[in-house]
Amino acid sequence: MSERHVFEYALLRVVPRVERGECVNAGVLVYCRAKAYVGARTHLDEARLLALDAAVDLAGVRAALRAVEGVCAGGAAAGQASGDDAGRRFRWLIAPRSTIVQPGPVHTGLTADPAAETERLLDLLVR
């Protein structure tokens, strides 16, 4: 059996109209300190989102989700966060925001493969 490590994760939610409190899960953020891993996978169900708000800025939402994936990837795609370690990038991404793309609460688990866990959580909680 592979060694398992503690990881943290949070859902990314799209909240097109904050005053209504409705949201669509659109991604997952995963951080594993032991593996120095931070990753994000996103999937936007545009039909569900449009059902909540027909006037939502789909291009803006897609750009915000790509930006989160870029910060997790590091390097030039991370912009100002490019020099930050994985933990610091994760903490910045899970900070509460009042924008249309918001992080949910942080949960924990155990995994031997954080990248595979990211994909599993996307399938389970978003798709």
Q: Where are the domains of the chain?
A: 5-125
Give residue 81's pLDDT: 74
Dihedral sign of CA atoms 70, 74, 77, 81 in order:
positive
Higher pLDDT, 4 or 81: 4
The model carries a pTM of: 0.90
3, 42, 54, 63, 90 from 93: Cα distances, Å: 27, 14, 27, 15, 5
Higher pLDDT, 78 or 112: 112
- Give the type of residue at 88: R
Average pLDDT over the chain, rounded to whole?
92
pLDDT confidence of residue 74 = 77
Is the model's pLDDT at 78 over the cut of 80? Answer: no
Q: Which amino acid is at 18?
A: V
